[in-house]
Amino acid sequence: MKMEAMEVLKNRRAIRKFKAEQIKDDELNAVLEAGTFAPTGHGSQAVKIVAVQSPEYRNRVSALNASILGADMDPYYGAPTIVLIFETEGSYTPGFDGPAVTTNIVNAAYAAGLGSCWIHRCKQMFETEEGKALLKEWGLPEDLRGSCSVALGYADCEQPQPKPRKEDYIVRV
């Protein structure tokens, strides 16, 4: 599927109901690769993207996020893939690089025909003992800083409509 860039940027919406069916490898690869081409301060690429697809790890990440949220629900809305975005040592612009990568990922997901939802609390998740245990099991440094996470899968709902944009969103001087 190929879409015009402006169409993607304006029509992507947060999806909060996913099919259980796993996405195809080429779809995942396209989305992750788009993340790696996001802008980063000084071009440091000081970001690590972790795609979680094993049901065991997917459910552990979901449970960890839910425990921070303090709610008995799946914060990833049943999505079979969770993408975790971390900032690494060497970032010139910590706090900015991870969200830049995440924005590419959610837009690329829509362009690839997938549903996605940006999910909060990644920073807190990987400050916990359980988060650090996961990093260790994945063979990743325990000092990676959680930045953002994304629920990824096939949408199991109609495409949501955007809210009207604020009248005073843009100022031209």
Ligand X SMILES: Cc1cc2nc3c(=O)[nH]c(=O)nc-3n(C[C@H](O)[C@H](O)[C@H](O)COP(=O)(O)O)c2cc1C
Give residues in contact with ligand X (CB under 6 A). 13-14, 16, 117-120, 160, 162
Which residue number, 46 or 151, has a Cβ lying nearer to ligand X?
151
CB of 162 to ligand X, least distance (A): 5
- Specify the DSSP element, H or E, that contains 44: none
Which residue number, 32 or 148, has a Cβ lying nearer to ligand X?
148
Q: Backbone phi, then psi, for 18, in 5-degree steps?
A: -120, 150
Q: Backbone phi, then psi, for 52, in 5-degree steps?
A: -105, 115
CB of 74 to ligand X, least distance (A): 11
Long-range contacts of 22-25, Cβ-Cβ distance < 8 Å, separation of 24 or more: 22/53, 22/80, 22/81, 22/153, 23/80, 23/81, 23/114, 23/152, 23/153, 23/154
Which residue number, 60 or 123, has a Cβ lying nearer to ligand X?
123
CB of 66 to ligand X, least distance (A): 11
CB of 31 to ligand X, least distance (A): 16
Which residue number, 24 or 120, has a Cβ lying nearer to ligand X?
120
Sheet holding 47-52, edge to edge: 47-52, 81-87, 145-153, 115-119
Which residue number, 24 or 63, has a Cβ lying nearer to ligand X?
63
Decide: helix, strand or coil at residue 163: coil
CB of 13 to ligand X, least distance (A): 3
Within its chain, how far is the Cα of 10 from the centroid?
A: 18
